[in-house]
Structures are given as C-alpha cells and as structure tokens.
Amino acid sequence: MMAVTLRVNDREYTRTVEPRTLLVHFLRDELRLTGTHWGCDTSNCGTCVVLMDGEPVKSCTVLAATASRYAVRTVEGLEGEQGLDPVQLGFAAEHGLQCGFCTPGMLMSARALLDRMAARGSAGGNPLPTDAEIREAISGQICRCTGYTTIVRSIRWAAEHSGEEAHP
Amino acid sequence: MQVPAAFEYERASSVEHALGLLAQLGPGARLLAGGHSLLPMMKLRLASPAYVIDIDPLVSELGYVREHGDEVRIGAMTRHRELLESPLLREKLAIFTDAERVIADPVVRNRGTIGGALCQADPSEDLSAVCAAVGASIVIRGLDSERVVPIEAFGRGPYRTAVGDAEMVTEIRVPLRAGSGSAYEKLDRRAGDWAVAAAGVSVTLTDGLIERAGIALAAVGAGTRSAEAEAALAGRPPSQEAFEQAAAAAADGARPVSDQRGSARYKRHLAGVLVLRALNRAAERATR
C-alpha cells in the first residue's frame, strides 16, 4: 500500500491505495467522484477522459500514483460560480447526449479543445474550431447513441458562446 | 474488470536514478513511460513486473526534438503529440508527421512516448517502421555504458529488443541527408486502430538519381526493412516504373497472416499499394 495525494478540481485528497490503482478507480472508488465513467478499460472508448494539467488523458490507462504530479480536473470540476460550463450548456442546447454514458469524457475533451482554441485566438488565430478539428478532438471517444452529429454541434455551440464571453 | 497484478512502485527523478533502480531491483523491474503499451499488457497479465519504475518525471530530461549537426535527435520520453506538432520534423522528416497523424488518437497521443512505442516492439507498431525507413539509431544507456544501436539491430522479433535488463533507451537519432524526402502510408479499419498494413519510405536523390532508399513495412510480418525493394531503386532515376518494381518487391517480401483485419492475400496487395503511394509522396517532397 502507498499514500497517494492527488489534486482534483482544486482540492487535495490523500488516500492509501495499492500502487496498481488506476486513476479512474481512485476517482470513482476512493473519492466517490463517479462523474468520470469507467467503460472499455482498454483506452479505446474515452468515457474515462479527465484532464491532467489541462490536457485530456484516458484515466483507465494512468496510474493514480503517476497522476499525483499533475492537477486533475474531472467533469465535477466543470461547473463554476457562474453556473454550468459552456460545453455543458452546449450539450443541453444541441442534444449532445442520449444515454449519457460517454458524456463526461466528451465534455472534458471538448473543454480542452476550447481552451486550446482560446489560446489560438489570443495568439491572433481563429478562436473557433472547425468541424474537422472538433471531430479530430473527439476521435478517441465512442458514442453509441448520437451518431456524433449532435455532439459536434454541441461543441460548436459552446465555442461560439464562450467566444462572446471572452471577447464581449 | 482488468487490473494489473500487484507490484511495488518506484518513481525515478532522473536517468541516473532510473538506471540505478533497474540495477538494484533486477530483472523483475520494468520502466513505465507513458503507460499506453505497458499498462494494457499488465492488465491482460501478459506482463507482470514485480517492480514498476515510473519515469514520467523524465519527460523534462528526455522530452525533446532538436537538430544536432547532421542529425535530428529525439528524446525517448517525447510524447506522440510533440512529434506530431514538431515544426522541425514536419519540415525535414515528414514521415514522422504522417505517421503520428494516424497513431492511436489525440488523447492517447498526449501520453504515449516514442521510447515506449519502440520498446514494446509490437509488429504492427508504426514508429518502428518509420525509424527503419529513415535509418535511425537508438541510444541505449546502462549505469556505466552507452551504446548506439542501428535500428536493424534494435528489434529482436515481436516484443523483443536489444535493450538489456538494466538498460534504457534514452534517444533516437535520425540522420539528415540533403535531397531527401519521406512519407508514411497506413490503412486502418477505424480511427485509432492498429494498421491493416502500413509502409514507410525515405528516398535520397543525388544528381537526379536515387542514392539511397529506405522502405519499411508494418503489420505484414517478416523484418521491417525491405532490402529487395530498396535494391530495386538504388542508382536509378525516380520513375513510376522503378517505383512499381520496388512496390512489387516489397509486397513479395511481406509475410502477412490472415486475421480479423484482412486476408494475407489482401494485405500483401495492400503493402504494394501503400509502398507505391509513399514512394510518390516521398519523391515529391525530396524535389521540393
């Protein structure tokens, strides 16, 4: 057993776990942050995606011990004082989910994409992702309900609406 | 539920530290780089190391792509995403950029490393074919040793490499040759899958003739380099006829097996088609 300290959604947690504990199980079973879903277990489906230092990773294929070097952000960390994150609002507005199983991973990859687009916008580039860029960003994730079209539309909605906030 | 067998965890803070731990803990220890080859193998219990030495912190020491004299040097902990986004590779060794676009998916590319991919030595792994085509060398370090091994001597068959128990790969060195162009062509069934077949090609033109050709295949059996295909091009001017002969030679030398990704006959045909496409793109880039 070993003590692992993780910074998740700006809070620090220490738990004593086996070294083989994967990040997804640390989040779900130790911290009871069950918003992160556990799917294929083989780094294919992407429902377990969380952010480490702002970049999406598949938490079924990262040891919790490795993640302790990074700031982890999960779907529970999306909602802020201003209310829901634009990506969450986008998925509601454009019907980006049906059963909801893939949604936490999709939301986190979308958040990382939009953060990257904001940085590109600040550097003088286009702050809005193209549909091809949105599709590429979620290409490591599987949805069996929507056919992806409404997910792409939801992320585009979020990009267009975060633009308004960032550049009033 | 897939869970690795129990192990003891160590974290290395430097190359020296990692090599010291490897020497101290013995052959039951394995290095964990990005984790996207080793952890899946451990979940399937195809690997059950007694000790896992996490080298994630070495990304700061071994994460780089830089020009050094007439070589490009790539640190073993450079992640797929860094390779994909490297302007230096896109300009001078576009075969890496081609391949990285189709290796796994963007989320996996955020973690997986070139050193980890090469050390897993999966017969379908793309960067092994890329490194073979460009004639890369692999730097292998031990506590008191450093060896530079040509890529042909690095792979020792599926999942086996020249890296010893107390050694680690620290760097990949790729020669830069004037008048060169390179390309990678891969067919997969869906985004992020292993290749049905893939071909990497590098050509160097001198005075309008092909001075050197490197042709390597992935996922179709046998060794990665195709010496017959390379010989079919050496000393000739680039032409469709020469490229077609090389592609046919590469297909002849392939030893694919029938599986869920396709029949052996189909894969052999595909290998030739992909070599031909890669040769055309590489030659175009060489003359640009």
pLDDT mean over A31-49 = 96
3-state secondary structure of A65: helix
Same domain, B80 and B167: yes
Domain of B206, CATH number, reads 3.30.390.50
Same domain, B200 and B277: yes
Q: Residue B38 belongs to what domain range?
A: 8-55
Q: Answer whether A20 sits within 8 Å of B7, measured CB to CB.
A: yes
For residue B105, what are its two tokens? Answer: 């998916």
Distance CA B155, CA B139 (A): 13
Same domain, B168 and B84: yes
Domain of B21, CATH number, reads 3.30.43.10
Same domain, B229 and B186: yes
Residue A20 sits at the chain B interface (C-beta within 8 Å): yes
Which of B153, B175, B197 is where one domain is finished? B175
What number of helices (H) and strands (E) belong to chain B? 13, 11
Which H or E run contains A67? helix A64-67
Same domain, B100 and B148: yes
Distance CA B120, CA B118 (A): 6
Q: Answer whether B110 sits within 8 Å of A55, measured CB to CB.
A: yes
Reply yes or no on whether the pLDDT at A99 is more than 70: yes
Instruction: Give domain status of residue B167, yes or no.
Output: yes
Which of B17, B33, B55 is where one domain is finished? B55
- Rounded to the nearest 5°, which phi and psi values hold at B101? -60, -30
Residue A57 sits at the chain B interface (C-beta within 8 Å): yes
Per the structure, the count of domains in chain B is 3
Distance CA B38, CA B178 (A): 37
Q: Answer whether A19 sits within 8 Å of B191, measured CB to CB.
A: no
Provide the edge-to-edge strand list for the sheet that holds B168-175.
B65-68, B71-75, B168-175, B137-142, B145-150
Distance CA B276, CA B199 (A): 9
What is residue A164's predicted lDDT score, i.e. its pLDDT? 55
Terminal Cα-to-Cα distance of chain A (whole angstroms): 51
Please report which confidence band the pLDDT of residue A166 belongs to, taking 50, 70 and 90 as the band edges.
very low
Q: Measuring CA to CA, which residue among B175, B171, B173, B161 is closest to residue B77? A: B171
Among B8, B59, B105, most A C-beta atoms within 10 A, so best to mutate, is: B105
| Residue A127: HSE in the Cβ half-sphere, 13 Å Cα cutoff | 18
Same domain, B171 and B188: no
Q: Answer whether A57 sits within 8 Å of B110, measured CB to CB.
A: yes
Same domain, B14 and B74: no
Average of per-residue pLDDT values in chain A: 95
Q: Answer whether B54 sits within 8 Å of A61, measured CB to CB.
A: no
Q: What is the CA radius of gyration of chain A?
A: 16
Provide the edge-to-edge strand list for the sheet that holds A11-17.
A11-17, A2-8, A71-73, A49-52, A55-58
Domain A2-77: which topology? Answer: Ubiquitin-like (UB roll) (3.10.20)
Write down the domain spans for chain A.
2-77, 86-166
What is residue B172's predicted lDDT score, i.e. its pLDDT? 98
What is residue A168's predicted lDDT score, i.e. its pLDDT? 34
Distance CA B182, CA B92 (A): 9
| Torsional sign, CA B89, B92, B94, B99 | negative
Which H or E run contains A87? helix A86-93
Same domain, B146 and B166: yes
Instruction: Give domain status of residue B261, yes or no.
Output: yes
What is residue B223's predicted lDDT score, i.e. its pLDDT? 63
Same domain, B170 and B193: no
Domain A86-166: which topology? Answer: DNA polymerase; domain 1 (1.10.150)
Task: Name chain A contacts of B32, Cβ cutoff 8 Å.
Answer: 63, 66
Q: Nearest by CB to B191, which of A61, A62, A139? A: A139
Helix axes B126-134, B94-101, angle to 10 degrees: 170
Distance CA A47, CA A60 (A): 9
Same domain, B89 and B144: yes
pLDDT mean over A51-68 = 98
Instruction: Give domain status of residue B2, yes or no.
Output: no
Same domain, B33 and B112: no
Instruction: Give domain status of residue B47, yes or no.
Output: yes
Instruction: Give domain status of residue B1, yes or no.
Output: no
Can you point out the beta strands (E) in chain A? Answer: 2-8, 11-17, 49-52, 55-58, 71-73
Q: pLDDT truncated to tens, each residue of chain B (288 aa)? A: 889 999 999 999 999 999 999 999 999 999 999 999 999 999 999 999 999 999 999 999 999 999 999 999 999 999 999 999 999 999 999 999 999 999 999 999 999 999 999 999 999 999 999 999 999 999 999 999 999 999 999 999 889 999 999 999 999 999 999 999 999 999 999 888 899 999 999 999 999 999 999 999 999 985 678 899 999 999 999 999 999 999 999 999 999 999 999 999 999 999 999 999 999 999 999 998
For residue B177, what are its two tokens? Answer: 């040759």
What is residue A91's predicted lDDT score, i.e. its pLDDT? 98
pLDDT mean over A101-123 = 97
Please report which confidence band the pLDDT of residue A132 belongs to, taking 50, 70 and 90 as the band edges.
very high
Contact B249, B222 (CB under 8 A): no
Same domain, B212 and B280: yes
Q: Answer whether B106 sits within 8 Å of A62, measured CB to CB.
A: no
Residue A6 is classified by DSSP as: E
Q: Nearest by CB to A140, which of B5, B57, B192? A: B192
Instruction: Give domain status of residue B3, yes or no.
Output: no
Cβ partners under 8 Å of residue A166, min gap 6? A118, A121, A127
